[in-house]
Chain A
Amino acid sequence: MIRLTEYLPLIEGVNWTPALSPETVEIEGAYVCDMLSDVMGSAKPKQAWITIMKHLNVIAVASMTGIPVIVFSKNNVPDDAVIDKATEEGIVLVSSPLSSFDLAGILYKLLAK
């Protein structure tokens, strides 16, 4: 288990939900996927979700599944309506310039320490 604050500097992560504090977010793994039903079927609570999908339904999927943080790869930035909804649902949104592969690899190494 790590805290989100340990991961963010390693991925040049930008937090789009400043109203939520990343130090309270605990991560035990990640799920890397852009198909929403696969995420709902297989992702688990306390996993970060790494994706390029950034529309409003992504927040609902994270909320239903119990995902505490979504990491958008390749500098994908969610729009304001998505950020507002995520803030309301207590889901941290982070953008990173890295690819989904690199984001997963860095987190994997961090969790294995």
Chain B
Amino acid sequence: MQACVAVKYSMADYWNIAPGMENALKECFSRDAEADVTLEFSIPEKDFNNAGKGSSEVKNLLKRLGVDSEVLRRIAVASYEAEINVAAHSHGGEMTSLIYDDMIHIKFIDEGPGIADIAQAMVPGYSTADDLVREFGFGAGLGLPNIQKNSDALHISSAAGESTLLEFLVFFAQ
């Protein structure tokens, strides 16, 4: 993960590591292996017809690689929620999926306007979604909690008026 190196010091960082995944994550930080496959997608603002394409491509690729279906479901849900978040709440952004032989690391970097209070954004049911987003059946305030629930590690770095980085890891072996 990018850790704090690429992030401005003024920005708030939120980390969540699933219980039991601490060692796997530590090992992950210390290796410098390049990803086997890198996929990039851009996510335009409020484009709900195309949001989800990146997640769909990732899901299809991992399925071909033989990733377990329950792991695949977790990756797909976390990734789709994050894609919808970028489309719904930001001025657009980029999704980068780094696929290794034992895990996937997906990064979402948007063009702002940032999250003022990350802890509050993590509370299930809290949402700042507008009417358009709600009309589509999004805006339940469950996106970030769903990403956390389905990932082995989650990192969010943001501040009001800044871009948001959200990245998560899922290991293929359960």
Tell me whether B136 and A38 are in contact (CB under 8 A).
no
Which residues of A, 25-49, contact B by the 8 Å Cβ criterion? 34-38, 40-41, 45
Closest Cβ of chain B to A44, distance in Å, is 9
Instruction: Number of B interface residues at 8 Å Cβ cutoff, please give it.
Output: 25
Query: Cα distance A41–B138 when bound, in Å?
Result: 12
User: Which of A41, A58, A63 has the most chain B CB atoms closer than 10 A to its own CB?
Assistant: A41
Give every chain A residue within 8 A of B137 (Cβ-Cβ).
34-36, 53, 55, 57-58
Shortest Cβ distance from A52 into B: residue: B137
Instruction: Number of A interface residues at 8 Å Cβ cutoff, please give it.
Output: 19
Tell me whether A45 and B136 are in contact (CB under 8 A).
no
The 7 sampled A-B contact pairs (Cβ below 8 Å) are A35-B137, A35-B140, A41-B146, A57-B51, A60-B52, A64-B52, A64-B76
B113 within 8 A of partner (CB):
no
Residues of A within 8 A of B (CB): 34-38, 40-41, 45, 53, 55-58, 60-61, 63-66
